[in-house]
Amino acid sequence: MYPDSPAETPGGGARLLLGNEAIAQGLFEAGCRMATAYPGTPSTESLEALAAYGAADLHVEWSVNEKVALETAIAGSYSGLRTATIMKQVGLNVALDPLMSLAYTGVVGGLLIVVADDPGPHSSQTEQDTRALAMAAGIPVLDPATPEESREMVDLGFRLSEKYGIPVILRPVLRVCHSRTAIQTPVSRPESGPAEFCKDPDRWAATPKHRYTLHGELNKKIRAIASDPLSLGTYKNLIVDGARPSFGIVASGVPAAYAADVIRRRGLDDRLKLISVGLPFPLNPEKISSMLRGVETILVLEETGPVMETVLAGYLNVSGRLDGAIPSEGEMTPDLVDIVIRKLPGASRTSIEVAGAQDYFHRAEKEDAGSPPILCAGCSHRSSFWALKQAMPGGIYTGDIGCYTLGIALGAVDTVLCMGASISQAAGFFWAYGQSDGPMPAIAAVIGDSTFCHAGIPALVNAVQQGAAFVLLVLDNGTTAMTGGQPTPGTGMLAGGGNGKHVPLEGIVTGCGVSELWITDPLDYKVMVDDIRAAADVAAGGEMAVVICRSPCVLMIDDRQGAVPVIDLDACNGCRICTDRFGCPAIVWGSCGPVIIADQCPGCGICLHVCAPGAIRLEVDA
C-alpha cells in the first residue's frame, strides 16, 4: 500500500512502509521535483509510491530505459531542481555512459541516483556491486542498512550533492527495498524556486581538453567529501561498551544490521566493536582507524564485492572476502554473518563446532534450489513459444529479459544476455552461419514490448541496415508485466496515471525499415502458427520479418477468456506433454492422470492444440 497524499495524512502518525516506499517518502519530503525510472526488481515500488503522492510540483515518468531516465533527470538538475532517477543495478550499466560524464560536469540542483542492488542474485543477471562502479566514476555512494536509514539518507544525499555540485548514489539492496518498518508520515514539503538553466559551455559542453580540468576538480571533491562532517556522520559505533575489545567489525548496509543483531543476541558486546559505515565511498580510513584504535583484528562485512576491504587493506589488518573468510559471491545472510562472527578467535562462548562460511554458503546454495519459475496459467507468451516451436522446429531461439525469459522451460529460449540482446544476437547468428559452408538454420528472436522500446529499437535498426534476415517476435502484452504491470509507450499511460501519447509498436517497426510485418493474436493459435511460418519463409528469402504477438497480460484481464477445458482420461495416452513440456500450472498430474484445475484456468484454450491425441476438449463426449 502506498502513502496517501500529504493532504490526507496529517503529521504525527506512522505507517508501515516498504523500504522502497520509505525512499519515496524521503524524496517527497526533500523537495524532489523530478523523478525518472525504468522498472526493475528490486527498485520498482519507489517511483510508484512517489507518483501516488500526486504532488502538482513533481514530474514522475517511466522512461523507456535507464540511460534516458538519467539524462532527463540531469537536465532537471542543470535547471536548479532537486531530481532523482531510480533503477536496479543492471540498469546502471545502461546508464553508465551519461553517468561517467556527469561526474565530471557535476550538477546544480541535487541529483540522487537510487540504484537497488540484488545480492544473490534473486531476480537479476548479475549480483554486481554498484559501489565499485561508483568508485570508477568518482561518485559518492550511500549504503543504507534499514528502510528508515534509506529515507534519512535521501536528504543527506541531496545535501552532499548540492554542497559539492556532484551526483550522489543511494544504494539500497534487496533486503532494504523489500523490508517493512514503521515510518512517520510526512508533515511538510519544501518549496523550491522556478527552473533556471544558466548557460556555461565550458562546463556543460566541455571539450576533451577542459574535461581534464574537470577531472581534477572531481578528484578534489571526492577528497573533500571523504572528510566532510556530513560524511563522517554516517560512521557509527553500533556497540558502545566500556571494554577494550581486541576484535572489530567494519560493515556497511544490511550486513551492519545483521552483525549488530548477532553480537547482541550472543552476548558479545564486550568482545567486539562494530563500526557501521553509511558512506562506503569515498571512505575515510583514518577515521575508521581512530574508531578502532587498539583493535588487533578487523573483519569487513559488505555486499557484494570487497570495496571497503580493498581500501582498508592498505591501512589496517583486515579480513573478509579477499582472504576467503567470507565467500566471494552470494548474499550476506544473517546465518552467514553469525557463522563468520563466531569463528573470530575468542568470540564463541560455546564448544559447539561452527561450520565454515564457505561450507555454509555452498550447503545453503544446494538447499535453496527449488522449482524453477513458470509462466502464468493462460499467459499468451506460452502460446507464442509453442507456436514458434511448431512453425520453426529446430531453430535457434534468442531470448531477452522479461517474464518471457521463462520460455526456456518450453525449450524455446536458447540465449539470454541482457535487454535488447535477442535481436543483436539473432543478427550475429545470421552472419556467423552466413560465413560458413553449412545450411542456414531458422533463427528467431523473441522480445517483449517494453524491452523492445528499452533497447531493442537500435538493435533492429542495425540488423535491418546490415541486411540480416531472421524472424522477430515482439510479445506485446500491453504492460511491463515482470515488474508489476507498469505502462509502456504502447499503452499511452503515464506513471502518475494520466494519459500520454500512444506510440504504436507497428509504427516503430516499420520506421526501423521493416516492410514484412504481421500482427497476430497468440490465443488464435492456428493463425499464429501460419503467420510465423509465413514470416519464416520471408526470412529464408533474405528479408527481415517481424510478428507482433498482441494479447493482454492475463493478470490484467478480469473475466475468463473462454470455457474451461476438461480432459477425457479415456482418450489420454499418458504422454505428459501437457504437464511436463507445455508447463501450464493449471494442468497437473493426478493419481488417475492429468487434471485441469478449474479455478486456475482462464480458459485460453491453447492446451487443446497441444494435446496430440485430442484428449483435452471443451466438453467430454457422452
Residues 6+ apart with CB under 8 A from 264: 239
With a cut of 50, which residues of the chain have pLDDT below it?
Answer: 1-11, 349-354, 621-622
- Report the C-alpha gap between 129 and 90 in whole angstroms: 10
| Burial of 611 from C-beta contacts in 10 A (0-12 / 13-18 / 19+) | buried
Residue 239 C-beta-side C-alpha neighbours within 13 Å:
29
What dihedral angle (degrees, nearest 10) is formed by the CA atoms of 497, 503, 505, 511?
-160
- pLDDT computed for residue 497 by the predictor: 82
- Report the C-alpha gap between 69 and 91 in whole angstroms: 10
| Nearest to 278, CA basis, from 392, 156, 186, 423 | 156
- Report the C-alpha gap between 278 and 287 in whole angstroms: 13
- Report the C-alpha gap between 536 and 551 in whole angstroms: 21
Q: How far is CA 242 from the centre of its chain?
A: 43
Query: Strand ranges (DSSP E) for 534-586?
Result: 545-550, 566-567
**For the residues of 432-474, what is the DSSP string, one character each?**
HHHTSSSPPPPEEEEEEHHHIIIIIHHHHHHHHHHT---EEEE
- pLDDT computed for residue 560 by the predictor: 62
The three three-digit cell numbers of residue 225, written as one number: 567529501
- pLDDT computed for residue 188 by the predictor: 82
- pLDDT computed for residue 485 by the predictor: 87
The three three-digit cell numbers of residue 131, written as one number: 559501489
- Report the C-alpha gap between 205 and 558 in whole angstroms: 51
| Cβ(120)–Cβ(174) below 8 Å | yes
Q: DSSP secondary-structure letter at 197?
A: P
| Cβ(17)–Cβ(180) below 8 Å | yes
| Cβ(568)–Cβ(620) below 8 Å | yes
- Report the C-alpha gap between 205 and 138 in whole angstroms: 19
- pLDDT computed for residue 457 by the predictor: 94
Q: How far is CA 285 from the centre of its chain?
A: 32
- pLDDT computed for residue 368 by the predictor: 54
The three three-digit cell numbers of residue 523, written as one number: 490465443
∠ Cα 424 137 225 (to 5°): 160
Query: Strand ranges (DSSP E) for 293-395?
Result: 297-301, 318-319
Strand 59-62 vs strand 443-448: parallel, antiparallel, or unpaired? Answer: unpaired
One-letter amino acid for residue 47 of the chain: L
Q: Note the pLDDT tens digit of each residue in 90-142.
A: 999 999 999 999 999 999 999 999 999 999 888 888 889 999 999 999 999 99
| Nearest to 202, CA basis, from 193, 192, 212 | 212
**pTM of the complete model:** 0.81
- pLDDT computed for residue 53 by the predictor: 92
Residues 6+ apart with CB under 8 A from 578: 567, 584, 587, 594, 607, 610, 611, 616
Q: For the stretch 328-344, what's the b/e string if a residue is b when 16 or more beta carbons lie within 10 angstroms of its beta carbon?
A: eebbbbbebbbbbbbeb
Q: Is 281 left (phi over 0), alpha (psi -120 to 50) or beta?
A: beta
Coil, helix or strand at residue 354: coil
Q: DSSP secondary-structure letter at 2?
A: P
- pLDDT computed for residue 517 by the predictor: 97
